[in-house]
């Protein structure tokens, strides 16, 4: 066969197939092929290839492989991993030639069994469908326990039926046809009930919040506080339990009150801050005082202001001591604190049994206030405490004065860090009081003796040798040096070190010295005023006054200004405030202004505010008026062009010194 030409083979194959179809066996085919071969030599198809003998004899190798010739050899698939097309190495060589889904099942397979079962039932059902249903009902009734006969009948029927029903299914059940009874019973089917219950849905609340920066900060703060508490394990301090809501609002209510007041007195507040009297430009040297707030307290109506003091730390807070200067009308007193922020009601007030005559606020501890009374007691109040009584009070056992205390002044803490203050009284003693734990310890510093009156009185009784101190002041820089003014009109310069002798005595006034004050800047200058209508300025090295001013009425108080060494103010009994500036006018006041409406009101005290350009003036009706100083009263020396204006205490001292030297020179020349 290998020598067969190509076309012969082809034709051969075709012939094979055709034969197969007719179901002939192979031998016949072979024969057919032989016959055809025989015919080859004789018949040649017209389009047969002409090949040479050599070509005809060429051997062609045919290899049978299992490869599917139709299978593609270069299938390429896209690989997502490598993101490129990759050739598939092995290609499926299976070639399916014929595919037919059949529906033959093996008889033992699941599907076959299922089908059998299904086929079995439909056959039976078709025959006995209705009869079966009927048969079941009487059975139910039979289960109720009826007579045997009935049952039998039913059973007999059943029997017949059941026979029928069973025929189709399996092998026939042989039954006794005479008295066969089949019993069946059905248990009571409990009626099904469905029970359900619904629970109450859990309470829900929807929560929303914003996570702001400050909320986060708050949470962190709380955490920190908790941690700190755990660390400390502090004992639980019993807090005051405020039952009512309203009591929590104390601070807030205060703020609101101040704001409401600010609104009500809005124009005053604006004036206080911003108003500068423009007409001062045209007034040459004079100035004016602009009235601002007026402070009054109902319960203090009939008392007169006996002391004023600004607080050094809280520049808007000042203390007012109320009492009476009248010897015959002595009664109660009051210590009241006002703030400029609220002019209608005091911040603190303490009623006292005896009139207050003087007070002083501690410069470093603004909550401590020393008070001197008309009955000779001194007391110290602590503003931080809630109670209305003083924390310390002197009593007759502990060295209180026997006469009214006219002035108290705090001193620097002593070496044991105890606070102490001095007091001066009409009984002629200058006493130092020290706050030791819970009591006041007193030390007599000096006893003021009358100078020069050594003559014997009638009946050989020695005259009283004690002078009555009415005011004193400590030097700003030299701590031990102080001045005392007496009722006799003399001023004594004393030192804390010497208890029996004065360093110097000045014949100051003809009547009691009401106030004596050192200058804030110049270390040598002090001022004094008296009911003899005069105000005198002294240089403590000279025994005569440097300046004398006559004010035509009893002078209640005088005060240096904190911003200039040459400016001071005085108040008189006719209701006027006099402001002097020695740098501008050495002989006259640059401002003389009545500040209280009725002329019968006497002004009793005056104080400059340490920072703001205002003064407070107290009168004998219990009112305190605040006034703003106009620019002329606060003038600073004009700066020369090109030069920076030097500020500071040295300038002030220099100013004063210049003034004094001017005065001294003519004196010297005179002398």
Partner 1 sequence: MAEVEETLKRIQSQKGVQGIIIVNAEGIPIKTTLDNSSTVQYAGLIHQSVMKARSTVRDIDPQNDLTFLRIRSKKNEIMIAPDKDYFLIVIQNPSD
Q: Across-strand partners of 309?
A: 319
Asked if 208 is part of the footprint of partner 1 (rule: CB under 8 A), the reply reads no
Instruction: Report whether 491 contacts 513 (CB < 8 A).
Output: yes
Asked if 266 is part of the footprint of partner 1 (rule: CB under 8 A), the reply reads yes
Nearer to partner 1, 75 or 221 (CB): 221
In angstroms, the CA 260 to CA 360 distance is 31
Q: From the CB of residue 280, how many other CB atoms can be counted at a distance below 10 Å?
A: 18
Counting Cα atoms < 13 Å in the Cβ hemisphere of 107 gives 0
| Token pair listed for 179 | 């008295």
Category of 642 on φ-ψ map: left (φ > 0), alpha (ψ -120 to 50) or beta: left
Least distance from C-beta 329 to partner 1, angstroms? 29
In angstroms, the CA 596 to CA 575 distance is 6
In angstroms, the CA 559 to CA 233 distance is 54
Nearer to partner 1, 181 or 344 (CB): 344
Least distance from C-beta 504 to partner 1, angstroms? 51
Nearer to partner 1, 197 or 252 (CB): 252
Among 314, 345, 563, 612, binds partner 1 (CB under 8 A): 345
Nearer to partner 1, 221 or 454 (CB): 221
Asked if 224 is part of the footprint of partner 1 (rule: CB under 8 A), the reply reads no
* Distance from chain centroid for Cα 622: 41
Segment contacting partner 1 by CB under 8 A, of 167-175, 252-260, 355-363, 432-440: 252-260
Nearest to 392 by CA among 412, 421, 365, 417: 421
Among 217, 367, 480, 498, binds partner 1 (CB under 8 A): 217
CA distances 568 to 197, 373, 535, 633, Å, are: 94, 27, 11, 10
Least distance from C-beta 266 to partner 1, angstroms? 6
Instruction: Report whether 335 contacts 388 (CB < 8 A).
Output: no
In angstroms, the CA 290 to CA 628 distance is 5
Among 186, 227, 264, 443, binds partner 1 (CB under 8 A): 264
Nearer to partner 1, 266 or 284 (CB): 266
Segment contacting partner 1 by CB under 8 A, of 76-84, 214-222, 294-302, 543-551: 214-222
Among 247, 367, 480, 498, binds partner 1 (CB under 8 A): 247
Nearer to partner 1, 344 or 434 (CB): 344
| Token pair listed for 24 | 């002939």
Least distance from C-beta 337 to partner 1, angstroms? 14
Nearer to partner 1, 174 or 209 (CB): 209
Phi, psi dihedral angles at 44 (to 5 degrees):
-120, 125
Asked if 252 is part of the footprint of partner 1 (rule: CB under 8 A), the reply reads yes
Asked if 216 is part of the footprint of partner 1 (rule: CB under 8 A), the reply reads yes
Segment contacting partner 1 by CB under 8 A, of 33-41, 157-165, 184-192, 249-257: 249-257
Phi, psi dihedral angles at 655 (to 5 degrees):
-55, -50
Nearer to partner 1, 218 or 665 (CB): 218
Work out whether strand 429-436 and strand 439-447 pair parallel, antiparallel, or are unpaired.
antiparallel
Q: From the CB of residue 303, how many other CB atoms can be counted at a distance below 10 Å?
A: 24
Among 88, 134, 260, 645, binds partner 1 (CB under 8 A): 260
Asked if 255 is part of the footprint of partner 1 (rule: CB under 8 A), the reply reads yes
Segment contacting partner 1 by CB under 8 A, of 43-51, 205-213, 437-445, 457-465: 205-213
Task: Give me the residue label for tokens 């189709």.
Answer: 168
Total interface residues for partner 1 by CB under 8 A = 29
Asked if 219 is part of the footprint of partner 1 (rule: CB under 8 A), the reply reads no
Q: Residue 598: helix, strand or coil by DSSP?
A: coil
Q: Which residues contact 540 (CB under 8 A, 6 or more apart)?
A: 483, 493, 504, 524, 525, 526
Q: Residue 432: helix, strand or coil by DSSP?
A: strand
* Distance from chain centroid for Cα 629: 39
Query: CA geometry: angle at 419 spanning 418 and 422, to 5°?
Result: 130
Least distance from C-beta 611 to partner 1, angstroms? 23
Least distance from C-beta 535 to partner 1, angstroms? 40
Category of 15 on φ-ψ map: left (φ > 0), alpha (ψ -120 to 50) or beta: alpha
Nearer to partner 1, 240 or 670 (CB): 240
Which alpha helices (H) appear in 67-147, and where do they start and end?
110-143
* Distance from chain centroid for Cα 301: 42
Asked if 270 is part of the footprint of partner 1 (rule: CB under 8 A), the reply reads no
Asked if 246 is part of the footprint of partner 1 (rule: CB under 8 A), the reply reads yes
Among 97, 251, 273, 640, binds partner 1 (CB under 8 A): 251
Instruction: Report whether 47 contacts 34 (CB < 8 A).
Output: no
Segment contacting partner 1 by CB under 8 A, of 212-220, 308-316, 330-338, 610-618: 212-220
Asked if 256 is part of the footprint of partner 1 (rule: CB under 8 A), the reply reads yes
By CB under 8 A, the residues from 8 to 47 that bind partner 1 are none
Asked if 259 is part of the footprint of partner 1 (rule: CB under 8 A), the reply reads yes
Asked if 212 is part of the footprint of partner 1 (rule: CB under 8 A), the reply reads yes
| Token pair listed for 227 | 């941690």
Segment contacting partner 1 by CB under 8 A, of 213-221, 279-287, 460-468, 636-644: 213-221
CA dihedral 618, 623, 624, 626 (to 10 degrees): -120
Q: Which residues contact 225 (CB under 8 A, 6 or more apart)?
A: none
Q: Residue 546: helix, strand or coil by DSSP?
A: strand
Segment contacting partner 1 by CB under 8 A, of 229-237, 244-252, 437-445, 594-602: 244-252
Among 157, 257, 316, 574, binds partner 1 (CB under 8 A): 257
Query: CA geometry: angle at 496 spanning 491 and 500, to 5°?
Result: 70
Least distance from C-beta 244 to partner 1, angstroms? 8
Asked if 218 is part of the footprint of partner 1 (rule: CB under 8 A), the reply reads yes
Asked if 250 is part of the footprint of partner 1 (rule: CB under 8 A), the reply reads yes
Least distance from C-beta 249 to partner 1, angstroms? 6
Nearer to partner 1, 346 or 545 (CB): 346
Nearer to partner 1, 75 or 253 (CB): 253
Nearer to partner 1, 18 or 253 (CB): 253
Nearest to 518 by CA among 572, 472, 468: 472
Among 61, 89, 199, 263, binds partner 1 (CB under 8 A): 263
Instruction: Report whether 635 contacts 581 (CB < 8 A).
Output: yes
In angstroms, the CA 169 to CA 464 distance is 153
Segment contacting partner 1 by CB under 8 A, of 251-259, 429-437, 481-489, 603-611: 251-259
Q: From the CB of residue 458, how many other CB atoms can be counted at a distance below 10 Å?
A: 6
In angstroms, the CA 404 to CA 148 distance is 136
Asked if 214 is part of the footprint of partner 1 (rule: CB under 8 A), the reply reads yes
Among 139, 165, 261, 604, binds partner 1 (CB under 8 A): 261
Asked if 249 is part of the footprint of partner 1 (rule: CB under 8 A), the reply reads yes
Nearer to partner 1, 14 or 219 (CB): 219
Q: Residue 109: helix, strand or coil by DSSP?
A: coil
Nearer to partner 1, 265 or 506 (CB): 265
Positions that interact with partner 1 (CB under 8 A): 210, 212-214, 216-218, 242, 245-257, 259-261, 263-264, 266, 344-345
């Amino acid at each position: 066969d290998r020598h067969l030409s190509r076309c012969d083979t082809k034709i051969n194959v075709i012939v094979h197939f055709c034969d197969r179809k007719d179901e002939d066996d192979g031998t016949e085919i072979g024969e057919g092929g032989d016959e055809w071969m025989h015919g080859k030599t004789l018949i040649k198809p017209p389009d047969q290839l002409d090949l040479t003998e050599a070509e005809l004899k060429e051997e062609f190798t045919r290899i049978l492989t299992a490869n599917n010739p139709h299978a593609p050899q270069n299938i390429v698939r896209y690989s997502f991993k490598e993101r490129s097309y990759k050739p598939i190495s092995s290609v499926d060589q299976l070639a399916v030639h014929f595919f037919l889904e059949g529906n033959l099942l093996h008889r033992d397979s699941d599907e076959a069994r299922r089908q059998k079962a299904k086929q079995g039932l439909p056959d039976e059902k078709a025959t006995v469908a209705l009869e079966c249903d009927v048969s079941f009902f009487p059975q139910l009734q039979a289960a109720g326990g009826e007579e045997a006969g009935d049952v039998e009948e039913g059973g007999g029927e059943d029997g017949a039926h059941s026979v029928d029903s069973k025929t189709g299914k399996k092998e026939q059940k042989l039954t006794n046809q005479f008295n066969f009874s089949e019993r069946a019973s059905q248990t009571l089917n409990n009626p099904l009930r469905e029970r359900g219950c619904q629970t109450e849905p859990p309470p829900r609340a929807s929560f929303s919040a914003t996570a702001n920066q400050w909320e986060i900060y708050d949470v962190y703060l709380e955490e920190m506080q908790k941690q700190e508490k755990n660390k400390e394990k502090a004992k639980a301090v019993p807090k005051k339990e405020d039952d009512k809501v309203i009591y929590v609002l104390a601070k807030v209510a205060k703020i609101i009150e101040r704001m409401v007041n600010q609104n009500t007195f809005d124009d005053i507040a604006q004036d206080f801050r911003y108003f500068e009297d423009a007409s001062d430009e045209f007034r040459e040297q004079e100035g004016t005082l602009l009235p601002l707030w007026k402070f009054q307290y109902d319960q203090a109506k009939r008392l007169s202001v006996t002391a004023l003091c600004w607080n050094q730390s809280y520049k808007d807070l000042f203390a007012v001591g109320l009492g009476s200067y009248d010897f015959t009308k002595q009664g109660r007193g009051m210590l009241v604190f006002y703030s400029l922020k609220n002019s209608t009601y005091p911040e603190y007030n303490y009623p006292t049994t005896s009139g207050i005559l003087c007070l002083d606020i501690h410069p470093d501890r603004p909550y401590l206030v020393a008070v001197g009374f008309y009955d000779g007691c001194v007391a110290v109040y602590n503003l931080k405490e809630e109670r209305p009584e003083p924390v310390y009070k002197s009593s007759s056992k502990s060295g209180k004065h026997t006469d009214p205390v006219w002035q108290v002044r705090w001193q620097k803490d002593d070496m044991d860090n105890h606070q102490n203050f001095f007091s001066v009284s009409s009984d002629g003693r200058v006493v130092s009081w020290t706050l030791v734990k819970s009591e006041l310890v007193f030390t007599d510093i000096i006893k003021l003796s009358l100078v020069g009156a050594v003559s014997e009185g009638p009946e050989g009784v020695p005259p009283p040798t004690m002078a009555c101190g009415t005011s004193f002041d400590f030097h700003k820089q030299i701590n031990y040096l102080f001045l005392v003014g007496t009722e006799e009109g003399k001023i004594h310069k004393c030192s804390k070190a010497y208890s029996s002798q004065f360093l110097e005595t000045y014949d100051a006034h003809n009547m009691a010295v009401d106030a004596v004050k050192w200058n804030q800047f110049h270390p040598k200058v002090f001022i004094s005023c008296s009911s003899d209508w005069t105000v005198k300025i002294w240089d403590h090295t000279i025994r005569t006054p440097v300046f004398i001013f006559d004010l035509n009425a009893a002078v209640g108080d005088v005060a240096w200004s904190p911003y200039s060494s040459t400016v001071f103010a005085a108040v008189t009994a006719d209701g006027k405030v006099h402001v002097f500036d020695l740098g501008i006018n050495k002989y006259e006041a640059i401002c003389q202004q009545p500040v209280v409406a009725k002329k019968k009101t006497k002004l009793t005290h005056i104080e400059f505010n340490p920072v703001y350009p205002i003064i407070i003036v107290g009168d004998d009706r219990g009112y305190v008026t605040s006034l703003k100083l106009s620019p002329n009263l606060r003038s600073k020396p004009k700066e020369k062009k090109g030069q920076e204006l030097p500020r500071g205490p040295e300038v002030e001292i220099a100013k004063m010194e210049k003034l004094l030297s001017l005065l001294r020179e003519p004196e010297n020349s005179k002398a």
